[in-house]
A and B are shown apart, each in its own frame.
Chain A
Amino acid sequence: MPPERTAAVAVNAPADNSRIHDIGYRHYDGVRLDRSYIRRSLFTQSLRGAYGLGRSAKSKVLPMILLAVMCLPAGIIDAVAIYTHMTKLPLEYTRYALYLQAVIGLYLAAQAPQSVSRDLRFKTVPLYFSRPMERIDYVIAKFGAMAAALFMLIGTPLVILYVGALLAKLDFATQTAGFGKGLLAAALMSLLFGGIGLVLAALTPRRGFGVAAVIAVFTISYGAVTSVQAVAFHQGAQTAIGWLGLFSPVTLIDGLQTWWLGAHSDFVGGYGPSNAVAGLFYLLVVLGLIAGSFALLMRRYRKVGLG
Chain B
Amino acid sequence: MTVIETESLTKRYPRVTALDRLSVGIEPGVTGLVGANGAGKSTLIKILLGLSPATEGTAAVLGLDVATEGPRIRSLVGYMPEHDCLPPDVSATEFVVHMARMSGLPPTSARERTADTLRHVGLYEERYRPIGGYSTGMKQRVKLAQALVHDPKLVLLDEPTNGLDPVGRDEMLALIRRVHSDFGISVLVTSHLLGELERTSDQIVVIDGGKLLRASSTRDFTQATASLAVEVTDTDDHPDGTRAALEAFTAAGLTAHADGHLLLVDIADESTYDTVRDAVAALGLGLIRMEQRRHRIAEIFKSKQDQEGGSRDAA
Contact = CB atoms under 8 A, between A and B. Distances in A.
Interface in B31-53: 42, 46, 49, 51-52
B221 interface: no
Interface residues of A, number: 36
Nearest to A133: B102
A133 B150 CA distance: 14
Interface in B60-83: 71-72, 74-75, 77-79, 81-83
Nearest to A305: B51
Interface stretch (A80-88, A116-124, A218-226): A116-124
B109 A118 contact: no
A124 B85 contact: yes
Contacts of B78: 130
B301 interface: no
Contacts of B52: 305-306
Nearest to B102: A131
A32 B75 contact: yes
Given A132-B104, A306-B51, A307-B46, 13 more contacts: A25-B184, A28-B150, A33-B104, A34-B104, A41-B98, A55-B90, A124-B85, A127-B81, A130-B79, A133-B71, A306-B49, A307-B81, A307-B83
A122 B130 CA distance: 14
Given A118-B87, A122-B85, A32 B105 contact: yes
Contacts of A56: 89
Nearest to A37: B104
B116 interface: yes
A307 B79 CA distance: 12
Contacts of A38: 101-104
A175 B27 CA distance: 70
A65 B120 CA distance: 42
Nearest to A54: B94
Contacts of B46: 306-307
B86 interface: yes
Report, as a range, how many residues of chain B touch the other chain: 35 or more
Nearest to B83: A123
A30 interface: yes
A150 to B, nearest CB: 23
B99 interface: yes
Contacts of B237: none
B183 A25 contact: yes
B125 interface: no
A225 B101 CA distance: 45
Contacts of B198: none
A86 B99 CA distance: 53
A76 B120 CA distance: 56
Contacts of A132: 71-72, 74-75, 103-104
B106 interface: yes
B113 A131 contact: no
B99 A127 contact: yes
Nearest to A27: B151
Contacts of A45: 98
Given A25-B183, A306-B49, A306-B52, A30 B106 contact: yes
Nearest to B90: A55
A38 B107 CA distance: 11
Given A32-B104, A38-B102, A306-B52, A134 B85 contact: no
Nearest to B49: A130
Interface string A28-48: 101111110110011001000
A32 B77 CA distance: 13
A151 to B, nearest CB: 24
B106 A28 contact: no
B88 interface: yes
Contacts of B81: 123, 126-127, 130, 306-307
A129 interface: yes
B182 A129 contact: no
B269 interface: no
A122 B120 contact: no
B259 interface: no
A35 B71 contact: yes
Contact of B106 (A26, A27, A31, A305): A31
Contacts of A32: 75, 103-105, 150
Interface string A66-103: 00000000000000000000000000000000000000
Nearest to B89: A56
Contacts of A129: 51
B186 interface: no
B88 to A, nearest CB: 7
A28 B85 CA distance: 25
